[in-house]
Amino acid sequence: MSRVRALIDVSALALPQATPPRVCCRLPMVDDTMSLLKPTKVMFRVVHCLFLLCLSALLPVAAQEVSYAWHNVRIGGGGYVSGLVFHPAVRGLVYARTDVGGAYRWDVAKSRWVPLTDWIGAKDQNLLGIESLALDPADPQRLYLAAGTYTTPQAGDAAILRSHDQGRHFERTDLPFKLGGNELGRGNGERLVVDPNDGRILFLGSPDAGLWRSDDYGAHWAKVDSFPAVATSPSASARNAWRTQPIGIVFVLFDPISGRHGQPTPVLYAGVSTRETSLFQSTDGGRHWSAVPGQPVGLRPGHMHRASDGNYYLSYGDEPGPDTMNDGAVWRWQPSSERWTDITPLRGTGKQQGFGWGDVAVDPSDPRVLIASTHHHYTPHDLLFRSTDRGAHWSEVFAHSVFDHGGAAWTVEHTPHWMTTVAIDPFDHDHVMFVTGYGIWASRDMRRLDDGGKVHWWFQDRGLEETVPLGLISPPQGAHLLSAIGDLDGFRHDDLAVAPLQFQAPPRYANSQSIDYAGQRPALIVRSGYLREPFGPAVRAAWSDDDGRHWQAFASEPPEGDGAGSIALTADGSAVLWAPWHAQHVYLTRDFGRHWQAVQGLSGDVGVLGDRVDPRRFAAFDPRTGALFASRDGGATFTPIRGGLGQAAQGHDHVQLQAAPDAAGVLYLAARDLPLLRGDDAGNVQQRFAGLTGVDAFGFGKSAQGRHESTLFVAGRLDGHQGIFRSIDDGGHWQRINDEAHRYGRITHLVGDPRVFGRVYMATGGRGIVYGEPQVAR
């Protein structure tokens, strides 16, 4: 059985009133106190208050809180939406789950997605991968999320998040096994399901622990020991470039008409991701299970849907997806006759050039209408097929479609792929949605296809931001924000509310890794990135001398390494240091790649940074060991940083090193289990920022009015409390600027705006780029 966590309120959180700053005073000695107690009761109250005030000054005090407004920097989509579920009884109520960015609910009135999991904090980052979601067909207020990103031993807990008000508040039940919201098979589903006749009952298919059941609205869970052992066998796992991963039970489905309201539904099905016998049925509410007769074997099931006429439709692939799939099929099963019919719209030409099937959706209001999506049909692109006769005949949809890229201009360079979920609105035949590896496309005129017309698609991602930023810069001139984005390229944001095109090509990277500007020449910017084979360009670094408006690839790459990696500029832009992945050396160029020289004193796979003031100075750090290095000859040679600063990070991981924005040779050092330190590149520690016990990310912003110090922003732990903090007086006092509803998991990068006081940009692990500004009083 699992333990239950306390109620988490994320909808009506108000920022607490600002607490006064610490007051220092002398704590009276006992004799002094006694003498003060004699005159009057008024004097007693004064002394008592002074005593408590002084005592409080000796105890840890939470940071003063400043009210901030939080928003996403608009990109639109950007990541893999792994599932969509419409509520069958409420018009417009639909939820989306993502592999690393939490869950969303569509707001019909505002025509945008509402994030539901921004309250998840750094220590629970693993819960932002949503493996499955479930709705109660009889109670539209209830929502369940199966949350857990990875199944590795070092990954955090997995949990069922339970809501009774459409995701405005959640209760949490930890699970005794892991979930893989960002692993193989994450586009299958749904693994989690609510009994349509008895909302107390839920079933959950796990990756490696079999089938589980709850009879108290998901608060407690027990394993269904009778489920076939194939669910935990080696055949129910798959391997990708990372490792062999358990896939297990990928969907559970009830037959609602087999039961009656108020009593457990007797008939349900479960599908196991195996090429062996994979579909199982129970006729006694899940107590006993048997294989469905006559089913196809040799492929793995991904989705199963019930039509209103009692037929079932299943999509299959030889792999669970989404990484790869080389073969597949679509089948119809008729339980009344136990008849299986292959209704695959299009056949592949062989396993090397072939493809599988992501999903086959059924129109809830018309059992004849089906929509099926190919998976890994990359030549020329994936396809969508529609049938109006239960799969006897199919029409190809995209051949008669128009895509509107106005809402997110960058999508013009992408074609739909990873279409593992297709959903048809139960209240609108024309409203169809499908997921991709970069967001959601939707149509409201699907039936125009029947009359030979065009189907129009728009990018339905307003409010849904699921990118993983890998680098952020906010130069003192030009665009306020430039970014390097995982699985995309990067963006130049002049307007934070507008989704721009990606950086102008060429070059075009599928994954930008690192970005930097020259401290004394901020219009000069460099970035590194890569494209997966076989599409990779010859050179995986680029430079711009006009604030990122136009780019040019470096003339060549260093003689070794896999591109990307860390890249940095000198303060005057006269030289570039590049540490490509898997290289034995770090390399220096003074002519954007026409010539390279190996740096002396550094091995590969380190982070590099240029001093913001002195063009002769560079620094480097090994994020795995904490070793620090410095150069004072423009990056040609490096020597280890000794002293207290160099020793502080030894043996620590997640090390971060930054150069001061306004002083030569000054470095700031932090790690997740270290306080923030300031020192110099000779190794001398100049300041330890008291109260900080761990730092996830930090950065610098515009000074407050009347002060000369840069505002310092930190995401981490202050006096044991996790939060996002700022200091306008060089760490003398701290102010918390976020609240419990805006935590965004673990912050990975953070930078203040040097031109707008109080504004801070943050890179999340899946919720895109978030920025905060002081709340304007009204």
Integer Cα distance of 214 and 202 in angstroms:
5
* Residue 701: closest CA among 672, 737, 671: 737
Integer Cα distance of 250 and 132 in angstroms:
9
Integer Cα distance of 661 and 363 in angstroms:
58
- Look up residue 274 and give its two tokens: 């195996």
In which element (H, E) is residue 30 found?
helix 30-37
Write out the E strands in 545-625: 552-553, 566-569, 576-579, 587-589, 597-598, 607-610, 618-621
Q: What is the DSSP letter of 128?
A: G
Beta carbons of 247 and 228 less than 8 angstroms apart: no
| Per annotation, catalytic residue among 99, 195, 208, 255 | 99
Integer Cα distance of 27 and 34 in angstroms:
13
Using DSSP, state whether 16 is helix, strand or coil: coil
Radius of gyration of the chain (CA): 29
Q: Which residues of 25-35 are buried (b: 16+ CB within 10 A; e: fewer)?
A: eeeeeeeeeee
List, in sequence order, the alpha helices (H) in 414-483.
Answer: none
Active site residue 99: yes
Q: Which residues, 6 or more positions from 135, have their beta carbon under 8 angstroms from its beta carbon? A: 85, 87, 88, 95, 142, 143, 144, 194
**Beta bridge partner(s), residue 721:** 718
- Give residue for tokens 């339970």: 162
* Residue 81: closest CA among 397, 439, 387, 465: 439
* Residue 677: closest CA among 661, 655, 662: 655
In which element (H, E) is residue 44 found?
helix 41-57
Active site residue 461: no
The amino acid at residue 765 is: G
Sheet with 169-174, side-by-side order of all strands: 4-9, 169-174, 159-163, 139-147, 130-136
| Per annotation, catalytic residue among 107, 430, 487, 572 | 487
Residues with a catalytic annotation lie at 99, 487
